[in-house]
Amino acid sequence: MLVLLLKLLLALLAVTVLVYAALYVIAPTRIADTALSLERMRAKLERSEMTITADGRNWHLVYLEGGPADAPPLLLLHGIGADKDNWTKVAASGLTQRYRVYAVDLPGFGESDKPADARYRIGDQVARVEAIAKQLGLSRFDLAGNSMGGWIAAAYAIAHPEQVKSLWLLNPAGVMSAEPSEMMKLIAAGMPLPLFARSEQDFGRLLQFVMQKPPFIPAPVRAVLARRQIANYRLNEQIFEEVREQSGALDAQLAALSAPLATPTLIVWGDRDRVLHPSGAAILLRLLPNAKLMMLPGIGHLPMLEAPGQVTAEYLAFRSGLNP
């Protein structure tokens, strides 16, 4: 009887392995979507859709939302080449327990509309975030962003200080007076931009470049994410050049204000960031009188993915010390 039971268990295991292998080959997108759905469930986030009107165009946008309906709203903006799921780990680390969280695929990224003939300068995205906030019914809210999203968040606070309770800037872009980063030196030397992938091999190098401690990504999910990066390579490169050449500098914009931006701000920066030099953190700290800096040793460009528990705990502590 024991031998028969063992044979049955081995047969079931073999079938499970074969099914998984077949799915990996035939339906990796389904595996990836299932994995992302499970991650969102763990973070208490649900996928939603909206339509906004900005710059004379109707935009179909996809976003994640979750947390108590009556909790303070927190809007999260991802970086260039990224999407809303960059925020699921911090949401799962405690954000959706305290806030009504909205993580949006910005126009040009993720599942949202990405027309090649649109403009994607920081000012253009600020106008679209204003339309997003209006569509979500947000009149006053906390605002966070990573990399390009951090630049957009800070520019939004400059344009609409009455709407933003606090800023959470994670390795924000736009600080042009910072020391040249490794990425900027590569660009100056005529090397390919390391932020985007043209092949699955490129995608592996991309992960290693932007993070010092990349999280585990199952192979099917990794393959699908790589294919999505490859499909968006040309548009991502176009947006990067447009943002870099036509948006103006965040630090210069802050320095030119008649009165310093008083929005309470938590600046988070990984000290091993190869994309944007960590010296930008001290520059922002000087320009924002109500700012606090959290420098993370051994962390790269995406602290919300590399150290989600640590950065969430620090943000919640920072935010609890402010007025509601």
The amino acid occupying position 270 is G
Question: Is 301 annotated in the active site?
Answer: no
Question: Is 160 annotated in the active site?
Answer: no
Cα(166)–Cα(81) distance, integer angstroms: 25
From the candidates 78, 166, 181, 277, which is the catalytic residue? 78
Cα(116)–Cα(169) distance, integer angstroms: 28
Q: Of 300, 285, 293, whose CA–CA distance to 251 is shortest? A: 285
From the candidates 112, 147, 166, 181, which is the catalytic residue? 147
Strand ranges (E), the chain? 46-54, 57-66, 73-77, 100-104, 141-146, 164-170, 265-270, 291-296
Is 281 strand, coil or helix?
helix
CB atoms within 10 A of CB 25: 9
Our measurement of the distance from residue 194's CA atom to the centroid of its chain's CA atoms, rounded to an integer in Å, reads 17
Cα(62)–Cα(277) distance, integer angstroms: 31
Sheet of 141-146: strands edge to edge? 46-54, 57-66, 100-104, 73-77, 141-146, 164-170, 265-270, 291-296
Residue 276 structure tokens: 């944007």
Enzyme catalytic residues? 78, 147
